[in-house]
Amino acid sequence: MDDRKLKVLGAIVTDYVATREPVGSKMLVERHSLDVSPATIRNDMAVLEEEGYLAQPHTSAGRVPTDKGYRLFVDRLATVKPLSLVERRAISSFLAGAVDVDDIVHRTVRLLAQLTRQVAIVQYPVSSSATIRHVEIISLSADRVLVILIDSTARIDQHPVALTEYTDDELIGWRNQLNAAVEGRKPVQADAALAELTAASDFDQTRLSMIIEALRSMLANDPSSEIVVAGMPNLMRYGASYETAIMPVLDALEEQVVLLRLLGDAVAEHPGEVTVRIGQENPYVPLHGTSLVASEYGSDEVWASLGVVGPTSMDYPSTISAVRAIARYVGRFLAEG
């Protein structure tokens, strides 16, 4: 395709994303410096339509991009819109107040939804070298304690346990015994150590076994299977042209397994880069009217994926820039933390 037709396609994509209205040759002449006559532009639009990059909703209407047109537009993007200084500072300050992994993930998904005005999806980070940092047991009442598990990535998990007739000295003794068994170990190793502890011939403490059961339950949790979603109301701003597609999309976005597969497959295509899947490139049929922009985030040892889902008529340059920037900021934050 020659440069002029690429410019025409780019102009149509830009105008359609901005207006949600079919774009005609007169509008292109008025808004863009294409240095050719309206007749030439109409001819180019006809060729682009014939080749599948544009479609004409009605006989007298202008053109709208197809999935193929969006794909060419994204593949030929010369530049990705840089974030403003205000946006970069907002990302940095917003993440700076995070206190643990849960807080980081929830801050990230809210920030991504706000910046892109799409539905944001963030997978919990997992670490190939995470180890148990500490076990704490806190008294909640006369018959209840809270067992807290902290790992080296600052991930915190907690589990209440009904426990009667315990003393503060017993809590301290149990805490010391458990930390001696699991501190510095990976989750699988820690679970094995707890299993050995309960199997020991001199182990006869029913109350401590209840705490150990809670700990082993927390160790069995796989954070990589957890997804956080934000920004569902953003889909409503696309109006009547998208209303028929909203319900299937919302239903699909409720399925954690679907989201994990979408993110995992997308980032696997281009590790370390932002991946864009447009329309029917998404393997899940209810999402054929949407696009996914996704990226890995994290450091060498702590990794996961994040992204946004929205209509195919999204602002790709800005969305790609936001996903890339936030992935880098969160990765840096995790590495430093």
- State mean pLDDT over 288-312: 86
Q: Which residue has the higher pLDDT, 236 or 22?
A: 22
212 with 264, same domain: the answer is: no
Domain co-membership, 256 together with 311 = yes
Q: What is the pLDDT of residue 278?
A: 95
The identity of residue 210, as a single letter, is: M
d(CA 337, CA 332): 8
What pLDDT was estimated at residue 245?
60
Does one domain contain both 118 and 184? no
* Burial tier of 90 (Cβ tally within 10 Å: 0-12, 13-18, 19+): middle
> Per residue in 251-264, pLDDT tens?
877 887 788 888 88
The CATH number linked to 156 is 3.30.390.60
Tell me if 251 is assigned to some domain. Answer: yes
Above 90 in pLDDT, residue 196?
no
Domain region containing 257: 85-124+226-336
Please check whether residues 180 and 252 belong to one and the same domain: no
Q: Are residues 212 and 246 both part of a single domain?
A: no
Residue 120 sits in the same domain as residue 245: yes
Give backbone dihedrals phi and psi of 119, rounded to 5 degrees, phi first. Answer: -85, 120
For the stretch 52-100, pLDDT in tens is 999 998 877 789 999 999 999 999 886 777 788 888 888 888 888 787 8
pLDDT of 178 reads 94
Which pairing describes strands 144-151 and 119-123: parallel, antiparallel, or unpaired?
A: unpaired
Rg, Å, the chain Cα set = 26
Q: Which of 173-182, 194-203, 205-214, 324-333 has the lowest mean pLDDT?
A: 194-203
Please say if the pLDDT value at position 292 is more than 90. Answer: yes
Q: For 36-40, what is the mean pLDDT?
A: 87
pLDDT at 249: 79
- pLDDT score of 16: 93
Helix ranges (DSSP H) in the chain: 3-19, 25-31, 38-50, 67-75, 85-96, 101-116, 168-182, 187-199, 206-219, 240-253, 256-269, 316-336
Q: Are residues 144 and 272 in the same domain?
A: no
CB 145 within 8 A of CB 137: yes
Distance (Å, whole) CA 291 – CA 278? 4
- pLDDT of residue 200 exceeding 80: no
